[in-house]
Amino acid sequence: MPIRLLSSHLINQIAAGEVIERPASVVKELIENALDAGASSITVDIEGGGERLIRITDDGSGIARAELKLALERHATSKINDLSDLERVASMGFRGEALPSIAAVAQLKLTSRTANDGHAFEVEAGGGEVTEPAPCAHPVGTRVEVRELFYNVPARRKFLKTERTELGHIDDALIGLSLARPEVEFRLTHNGKPLRALPAALDHAARLRRLKPLFGAEFTEHCLALMADSPGIALSGYISAPTHSRSQPDQQYFYVNRRLVRDRLVSHAVRQAYQDVLFNGRHPAYVLYLELPFDAVDVNVHPAKSEVRFRETRLIHDFVYRTLKRAIAETRPNSDDPVSDQPPTLAPSPAPAQQAAWGFAPARDYPSAPSALAVSGMYSLYSAAPSEEVREASSAALSPPLGFALAQLKGVYVLAENARGLILVDMHAAHERITLERMKRERNQSALVSQLLLVPQKVLVSESEALLAEELNVTLSDLGFEVDRHGPEALLVRRVPALLADVDLSKLLRDVLSELRTYGHANSLHAYIDELMATMACHAAVRANRRLSLPEINALLREMESTERADQCNHGRPTWVELKMEDLDRFFLRGR
Ligand code: ADP
Ligand code: MG
């Protein structure tokens, strides 16, 4: 065949192949257009899973009569003008591709009215032809109707799934966009029946209400809200409490400047942050909003715009990791209880600096934290406290979050009473967390002590890994390693972090190298150490069937309150539950 220029209709059909995969892609593009037009309310009406009809109505700025036909032209956009605009895109769209692509594979009707016009105009497109604008009735804003999607692309049509599946994808697309814009109202109907109604949510409480039908009450009742701000970068949103993880990574939404993106770097940072509070194979749920200057991200890297490229990848990885980690560290029994917000009336016993907020001295001065390797002395950790004052305080309704000891059940659970009711603590799980956190504090204080190997160990690596090890020699020695090049594809390890003397060195070293290369720091090293410490903590923690005295229990409760991440053990299981008086009354049918 001779070379020739393709017709613009065919060009649009080719573009549609990339941009319009299924009805949900049409919905996504059209909602994005409505958002770019500043809509405050968007209605999506679907028939037949989107194959028969997709109609999106917005109350945005509208399109002037003179531009209606142009909007359907390829590469026609009102959103960018020159290359410098492309480098700092603030709108969802910028390629001028969506409308012509949709019109190339469906029947499209575009109705619009701007605030300056007395009435609306509409154009129809299909088979490459566009009609002249005709006057019609419509309020200010835009309505796009897409019928018979893929009527002229049988191959695509064949790949469409059932009505329900396609509707599911449409719903997902709508959820993804609606989470980015809580201030906009969204509605979805299918075959005339309302499916979703998400009113605008302007404050925190309203946002949680709007999240509830999307994420479930489990999430909204237990999620952690976070907000971190630094010059040039901010992160906010909601993440699931470690004790409310999911078996699937299905509720993970990450937005960069309000654009939903998938990003390996970011998922890695999130996983790292949850490491040591989540069981292997469990997944957190989250909605996170990262805000960056527009020119710090390149959004022009993916046809459906679902990936972006960051200029400062390490900085972002670090910021996300640190922010989440800090939020997760706060998961411990705390005094959100109005009762314990009262100023303490009990005189604190004279002494230690580490007094809890409500004015009690800790039960005793704990022996200084044992070294990570010598944990056997832990059993005698909890002992004598001045218990008289402690009982009185309880009756004064001035109780700390976990209250005061009542008893021990079957050597496994600890019972305590706080201002709201009954507290049940899994003794072993709680002590395990306390022990682990203590070890981690110790480790942070005393850097990574390194240990000389009796026999240097040879580790086979690839040539690029060997080069990297040479290049990163200083970093490695900061981490406690002494590593020499030993031939083109081998390293000789002479020194390792003391805690890790017994682990599989070659795997560890390769993991550390690969992480140093990709993320700039060696999380896997800390992961190894954390894992090891978790095992040690588990062995050191009080076993079931050990009798604790009430003062010992009180000491345990106080320490839980001051321990980071104390709400869950190292495997993400909860360490305590609260049965409020209302719960108990309901159980006994009291007051009915
Ligand atoms: P892009 O969004 O990349 O600019 P589109 O093909 O999606 O390309 O849209 C082309 C142009 O049509 C947009 O730049 C915008 O000016 C206009 N437009 C599309 N949808 C709407 C809408 N719902 N409200 C107002 N203007 C719109
Ligand atoms: Mg667009």
Helix H, strand E, coil C: the string for 301-362 is CCCCCCCCEECCHHHHHHHHHHHHHHHHHCCCCCCCCHHHHCCCCCCCCCCCCCCCCCCCCC
DSSP 231: T
DSSP 385: -
**Collapsed DSSP state (helix, strand, coil) of residue 425:** strand
Task: Copy the structure tokens of residue 90.
Answer: 């603030």
CA 505 to chain centre: 32
Domain ranges of the chain: 8-198, 204-350, 379-441+545-587, 447-539
Residue 169: name the closest of 345, 303, 49, 7 by CA. 49
pLDDT for position 509: 83
What's the rounded Cα separation, in Å, for the pair 447 and 436?
Answer: 16
Is 135 within 8 Å of 119 (Cβ atoms)?
yes
99 lines ligand 1 (CB under 6 A): yes
What's the rounded Cα separation, in Å, for the pair 447 and 451?
Answer: 13
- Residue closest via CA to ligand 1's atom 12 equals 71
Q: Exposed, middle or buried by CB within 10 Å (0-12, 13-18, 19+), for 390?
A: buried
pLDDT for position 389: 43
pLDDT for position 44: 98
**Any idea which fold 204-350 has?**
Ribosomal Protein S5; domain 2 (3.30.230)
Q: Which residues of the chain have pLDDT under 50?
A: 337-397
34 lines ligand 1 (CB under 6 A): yes
Taking the centre of ligand 1 as the mean of its atom positions, its distance from the CA of residue 71, in whole angstroms, is 6
pLDDT for position 337: 39
What's the rounded Cα separation, in Å, for the pair 190 and 197?
Answer: 12
Is 236 within 8 Å of 289 (Cβ atoms)?
yes
CATH value of 447-539 in 3.30.1370.100, 3.40.50.1970, 3.40.1190.20, 2.40.320.10: 3.30.1370.100
107 lines ligand 1 (CB under 6 A): no
Overall residue count recorded for the chain in this entry? 592
- In 10 A of CB 397, how many CB atoms? 12
Taking the centre of ligand 2 as the mean of its atom positions, its distance from the CA of residue 77, in whole angstroms, is 8
pTM: 0.77
Taking the centre of ligand 1 as the mean of its atom positions, its distance from the CA of residue 29, in whole angstroms, is 9
- The ligand placed nearest to the CA atom of residue 142 is 1
pLDDT for position 544: 65
pLDDT for position 477: 82
CATH class entry, domain 8-198: alpha beta
24-67: pLDDT as tens digits = 999 999 999 999 999 999 999 999 999 999 999 999 999 999 99
pLDDT for position 524: 67
524 lines ligand 1 (CB under 6 A): no
**Collapsed DSSP state (helix, strand, coil) of residue 121:** strand
CATH value of 379-441+545-587 in 3.30.1540.20, 3.10.20.30, 3.30.2320.80, 3.90.1150.10: 3.30.1540.20
Ligand 2 (single-atom ion) residues, CB below 5 Å:
33, 93, 98
Identity of the amino acid at 313? T
What's the rounded Cα separation, in Å, for the pair 107 and 224?
Answer: 46
Residue with tokens 């049988």: 154
Beta-sheet pairing, 141-147 with 107-113:
antiparallel
